């Protein structure tokens, strides 16, 4: 008699998953967050909570660590995985240990814009209320009477999204008497939203401006300004929506030798108030490196840069140019080399009662471009320090719509109005900024255009030293400029 036995077949083993076994977050423990609220951590851990396997979980926690660092409120961040308190084999507990940065810092310093010296101070409160926010209160007071008081608020993760919320309120008085025979009062505020990468920025701006013409020093009831400035001497209220798109892949902000920059800005004013205009700006840079690297730089680097801007009034303002506060100004050692600051473009007659060279009035259409080539200096010591030589050509113009919209002469007007300069010099891209010493030949300029024989300029830290002499005959100028980024 034969007997048979049957065994139940075992199910096939599950093939290994490329992301590893199942694993998800059970509990999160926080250490060292004396001020930082738990919500700040929760916002950055949302994607990690959705991970289902150990590989995915580790990757999402690494990304969360980078987001924590980007908040710039911690000195150190450490994330550890441990056995889950629930004892479940597919869960893990996460312990986040942080060391918070100091929540307040004070800065006191001095600045100058080349014609005026000023003292400045700022108080920064970092993560003071525990939401990774940054609050800055600053004030600047100049010897001429110019002053600025500013309050800024910046908060990440707006509406739980990877967005910054920025709010700014300012009270300003700008002394423009040395260029345009007026002072300008500004009280303004803005709210903006920007992404973490700095590509998109959308803002709502509200401002009140008032232009005060320069008064006669001997007759207080009389003005020493051109009729063009007197016509602008009235309060105005501006509300606008502004959008900025930035694509920046340059290899260095101070002295780029590769990559490029494209930036587009558009602003529409007139939602509320008496100022109505549409303003657009496009600027770009392209840098190409050629040859082997020597002392950290290529043998040659070619650079092209340009800027184009237009502003046009509309509605009830369409028959008048934009207000002087919203116009473009051009000239200076860091845009069109060889020309004075605001030395290009429409200008009142020197006989109209303004400044000696005529009040700078600004323009509605602006364009300028620069082509340059950088090369190593022959001295090894200077080359090792990062000093480079450069040859450059500049061209630019600042004009009005009347000359652009002239159907018969617009091309001739553009050709006649464009200023051109050539030059050579030295460039030093330091850690704190960019230093240039250039010798320029002015190939084309108008009789009223201000050119400079010596200029030293520090920009972006609002620190500028300038010694300028106007000379409309000699085509050769020397310029020195340092740009702090």
Instruction: Please state the domain count of the chain.
Output: 2
Q: Is the pLDDT assigned to residue 467 strictly greater than 60?
A: no
Q: Which of the four pLDDT bands, split at 50, 70 and 90, describes residue 169?
A: very high
Do 156 and 242 share a domain, yes or no?
Answer: yes
Please indicate, yes or no, if residue 3 is contained in any of the structural domains: no
Q: Which of the four pLDDT bands, split at 50, 70 and 90, describes residue 13?
A: low
Give the Cα separation of 100 and 123 in Å (integer). 18
Helix (H) or strand (E) holding 402: helix 401-404
CATH code: domain of residue 58: 3.10.20.310
Give the Cα separation of 362 and 329 in Å (integer). 5
Do 142 and 201 share a domain, yes or no?
Answer: yes
Task: Concatenate the DSSP letters of all residues of 202-213 into one string.
Answer: EEEEEEEEEEEE
Please indicate, yes or no, if residue 145 is contained in any of the structural domains: yes
In 377-411 the beta strands, taken as DSSP E runs, fall at 387-399
Do 290 and 151 share a domain, yes or no?
Answer: yes
Q: Which of the four pLDDT bands, split at 50, 70 and 90, describes residue 432?
A: low
Please indicate, yes or no, if residue 18 is contained in any of the structural domains: no
**pLDDT averaged over the chain?**
86
Q: What's 362's DSSP letter?
A: -
Structural domain including 166 reads 104-483
Q: Is the pLDDT assigned to residue 161 strictly greater than 50?
A: yes
* Counts for the chain of helices (H) and strands (E), in that order: 8, 21
* SS3 (DSSP) at 485: coil
Average pLDDT over residues 202-225: 92
Helix (H) or strand (E) holding 280: strand 277-294
Structure tokens at 68: 């924590």
Of the residues 55, 78, 100, the one at which a domain ends: 100
| Residues 174-184 pLDDT 10s | 998 888 999 99
| Residues 353-371 pLDDT 10s | 888 889 999 999 999 999 9
Give which of 473, 456, 367, 477 is closest to 413, Cα–Cα: 367
Q: Which of the four pLDDT bands, split at 50, 70 and 90, describes residue 476?
A: very low
Give the Cα separation of 485 and 482 in Å (integer). 10
Task: Concatenate the DSSP letters of all residues of 146-214 into one string.
Answer: -EEEEEEEEESSGGGSSEEEEEEEEEEEEE-HHHHSEEEEEEEEEEEEEETTSSEEEEEEEEEEEEEEP
Do 417 and 477 share a domain, yes or no?
Answer: yes
> Is residue 455 within 8 Å of 431, Cβ to Cβ?
no
Do 92 and 127 share a domain, yes or no?
Answer: no
pLDDT, position 92: 93
Average pLDDT over residues 422-440: 84
Give which of 66, 81, 74 is closest to 36, Cα–Cα: 74
Give the Cα separation of 73 and 70 in Å (integer). 8
* SS3 (DSSP) at 319: coil
Structure tokens at 400: 């009005």
Give the Cα separation of 301 and 298 in Å (integer). 6
Distance, C-alpha 274 to centroid of its chain: 28
> Is residue 105 within 8 Å of 126, Cβ to Cβ?
yes
> What separation in angstroms does the CA of 469 have from each of 178, 236, 341, 347, 437?
14, 35, 12, 18, 17
* SS3 (DSSP) at 232: helix
Do 344 and 419 share a domain, yes or no?
Answer: yes
Please indicate, yes or no, if residue 11 is contained in any of the structural domains: no
Please indicate, yes or no, if residue 4 is contained in any of the structural domains: no
* SS3 (DSSP) at 131: coil
Do 157 and 53 share a domain, yes or no?
Answer: no
Of the residues 82, 100, 118, the one at which a domain ends: 100
* SS3 (DSSP) at 230: helix
Do 268 and 362 share a domain, yes or no?
Answer: yes
Please indicate, yes or no, if residue 2 is contained in any of the structural domains: no
| Portion of the chain with pLDDT greater than 90, in percent | 56
* Longest distance between any two alpha carbons in the chain, whole Å: 136
Do 346 and 465 share a domain, yes or no?
Answer: yes
Do 81 and 129 share a domain, yes or no?
Answer: no
Do 328 and 468 share a domain, yes or no?
Answer: yes
330 strand-pairing partners: 344
Do 143 and 38 share a domain, yes or no?
Answer: no
> What separation in angstroms does the CA of 342 have from each of 9, 168, 362, 365, 379?
89, 27, 8, 14, 36
Q: Is the pLDDT assigned to residue 191 strictly greater than 90?
A: yes
Q: Is the pLDDT assigned to residue 383 strictly greater than 70?
A: yes
Among 287-301, 362-376, 468-482, whose mean pLDDT is lowest? 468-482
Give which of 159, 160, 158 is closest to 43, Cα–Cα: 160
CATH code: domain of residue 463: 2.40.160.50
Please indicate, yes or no, if residue 315 is contained in any of the structural domains: yes
Helix (H) or strand (E) holding 46: helix 46-49
Phi, psi (deg, nearest 5) at residue 319: -95, 10
453 or 225: which leads in pLDDT? 225
Q: Is the pLDDT assigned to residue 300 strictly greater than 90?
A: yes
Give the Cα separation of 414 and 409 in Å (integer). 9
Of the residues 34, 66, 100, the one at which a domain ends: 100
Please indicate, yes or no, if residue 188 is contained in any of the structural domains: yes
Give the Cα separation of 424 and 412 in Å (integer). 29
């Amino acid at each position: 008699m034969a007997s048979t036995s049957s065994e139940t077949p075992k199910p096939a083993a599950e093939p290994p998953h490329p992301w590893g076994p199942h694993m998800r977050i059970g509990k999160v423990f926080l250490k060292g967050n004396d001020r930082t609220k738990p919500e700040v951590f929760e916002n950055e851990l949302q994607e990690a909570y959705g991970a289902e396997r150990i590989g995915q979980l580790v990757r999402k926690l690494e990304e969360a660590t980078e987001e924590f660092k980007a908040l710039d409120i911690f000195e150190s961040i450490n994330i550890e995985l441990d056995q889950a308190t629930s004892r479940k084999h597919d869960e893990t507990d996460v312990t986040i240990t942080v060391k918070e940065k100091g929540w307040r810092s004070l800065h006191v310093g001095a600045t100058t814009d080349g014609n005026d010296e000023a003292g400045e101070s700022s108080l920064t409160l970092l993560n003071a209320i525990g939401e990774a926010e940054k609050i800055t209160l600053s004030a600047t007071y100049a010897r001429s009477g110019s002053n600025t008081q500013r309050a800024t608020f910046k908060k990440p993760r707006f509406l739980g999204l990877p967005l910054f919320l920025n709010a700014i309120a300012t009270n300003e008085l700008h002394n423009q008497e040395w260029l345009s025979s007026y002072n300008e009062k500004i009280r303004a505020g803005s709210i903006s939203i920007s992404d973490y990468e700095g590509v998109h920025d959308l803002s709502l701006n509200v401002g009140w401006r008032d232009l005060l013409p320069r008064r006669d020093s001997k007759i207080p009831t009389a003005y020493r300004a051109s009729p063009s400035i007197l016509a602008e001497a009235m309060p105005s209220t501006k509300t606008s929506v502004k959008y900025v798109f930035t694509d920046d892949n340059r290899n260095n902000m101070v002295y780029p030798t590769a990559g490029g920059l494209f930036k587009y800005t558009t602003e529409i004013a007139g939602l509320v108030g008496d100022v109505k205009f549409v303003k657009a700006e496009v600027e770009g840079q392209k840098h190409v490196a050629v040859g082997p690297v020597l002392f950290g730089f290529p043998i040659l680097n070619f650079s092209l840069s340009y800027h184009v801007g237009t502003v046009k009034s509309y509605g009830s303002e369409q028959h008048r140019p934009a207000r002087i506060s919203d116009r473009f100004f051009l000239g200076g050692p860091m845009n069109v080399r060889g020309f004075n600051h605001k030395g290009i473009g429409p200008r009142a007659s020197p006989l109209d009662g303004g400044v000696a060279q005529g009040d700078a009035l600004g323009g509605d259409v602006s364009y300028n471009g620069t082509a340059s080539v950088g090369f190593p200096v022959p001295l090894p010591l200077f080359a090792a320090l990062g000093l480079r030589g450069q040859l450059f050509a500049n061209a630019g113009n600042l004009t009005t719509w009347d000359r652009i919209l002239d159907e018969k002469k617009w091309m001739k007007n553009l050709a006649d109005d464009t200023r051109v300069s050539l030059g050579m010099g030295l460039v030093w891209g330091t850690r704190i900024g960019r230093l240039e010493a250039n010798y320029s030949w002015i190939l084309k300029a108008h009789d009223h255009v201000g050119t400079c024989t010596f200029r030293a300029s520090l920009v972006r830290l609002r620190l500028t030293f300038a010694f300028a002499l106007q000379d409309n005959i000699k085509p050769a100028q020397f310029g020195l400029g340092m740009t702090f980024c």
